Amino acid sequence: NAGVTQTPKFRVLKTGQSMTLLCAQDMNHEYMYWYRQDPGMGLRLIHYSVGEGTTAKGEVPDGYNVSRLKKQNFLLGLESAAPSQTSVYFCASMISPLVETQYFGPGTRLLVL
Amino acid sequence: DAKTTQPPSMDCAEGRAANLPCNHSTISGNEYVYWYRQIHSQGPQYIIHGLKNNETNEMASLIITEDRKSSTLILPHATLRDTAVYYCIVRVPWKDSSYKLIFGSGTRLLVRP
């Protein structure tokens, strides 16, 4: 059981470039989340999904898109990266609100120049 | 919409209890208190959560005041591996029967040999 995995671990982009971050979980969880963490701060919710084929906006969704084509994968896309998107990105999954615990991946460090 | 206030840093001696305080004076009746920790920029790790009653598990104890305006996380016998940033979090209802975790700035706990 790998839990929640994220690829890549680290990436450097130039302003205006695009990329996709992949989150995968092998726990058959319904709910998946994308957060960003800026230096010295807690995590903020970007987008989330309550099941395969569904996505919804979180607190800070601007500049990001997501897709959940398969239950085990949740993709976060940056269409035109900006320096303000330099951050550490964490994915999390949860079986259901009844179980209440989110399990986090190891994170992806993104630097936008 | 910061919901929690924590001291920025604390330290304790190895083998002693670590008591981490948190203020959440604006918490609502249906909002849970969660604690996660983050070790050296890894993904956050769930510790414990509660609503009104004190809770205990294999990792820690959570003491919530009767008015629910503050709580304390207790690590009964701190080890060097408990050195981490500890986040006191309020879980608030969100859309689609989900919820979001509102992170504060966290307390950096240093366990001294």
What pLDDT, on a 0 to 100 scale, did the predictor assign at position A61?
Answer: 95
Whether B50 contacts chain A with CB within 8 A: no
Taking an 8 Å Cβ-Cβ cutoff, which residues of chain A contact chain B?
4, 31, 40-45, 48, 50, 54, 56, 58-59, 88, 90, 92, 97, 100-107
Please list the rounded mean pLDDT of every run of 10 residues in chain A (113 residues). 90 97 94 91 90 92 96 96 96 80 93 97
Torsion of CA A62, A64, A69, A71, to 10 degrees: -80
CB B48 within 8 A of CB B32: no
Q: Is residue B1 predicted with pLDDT exceeding 60?
A: no
- Could you list the beta-strand ranges (E) of B1-113: 9-13, 18-23, 32-38, 45-50, 55-56, 61-64, 70-75, 84-93, 99-103, 107-112
Residue of A nearest to B104 (CA): A42
In this structure, of B52-61, B67-76, B92-101, the range with the lowest mean pLDDT score is B92-101
Q: Is residue B32 predicted with pLDDT exceeding 60?
A: yes
What pLDDT, on a 0 to 100 scale, did the predictor assign at position B42?
Answer: 86
What pLDDT, on a 0 to 100 scale, did the predictor assign at position B91?
Answer: 87
- Are the beta carbons of B100 and A58 separated by less than 8 Å? yes
CB A111 within 8 A of CB A14: no
Span between the terminal Cα atoms of chain A, in Å: 36
What pLDDT, on a 0 to 100 scale, did the predictor assign at position A101?
Answer: 83
Residues on chain A touching B102 (C-beta within 8 angstroms): 42
- Are the beta carbons of B96 and A50 separated by less than 8 Å? yes
What pLDDT, on a 0 to 100 scale, did the predictor assign at position A1?
Answer: 65
CB B4 within 8 A of CB B22: yes
Task: Locate A71 and state its tokens.
Answer: 């239950």
How many CB pairs lie under 8 A apart between chains A and B? Answer: 52
What pLDDT, on a 0 to 100 scale, did the predictor assign at position B26?
Answer: 87
Report percent pLDDT > 70 for chain B: 96
Q: What is the mean pLDDT of chain B?
A: 91
What pLDDT, on a 0 to 100 scale, did the predictor assign at position A106?
Answer: 94
Q: Give me the helices (H) in B24-108, please.
A: none
Q: Is residue B54 predicted with pLDDT exceeding 70?
A: yes
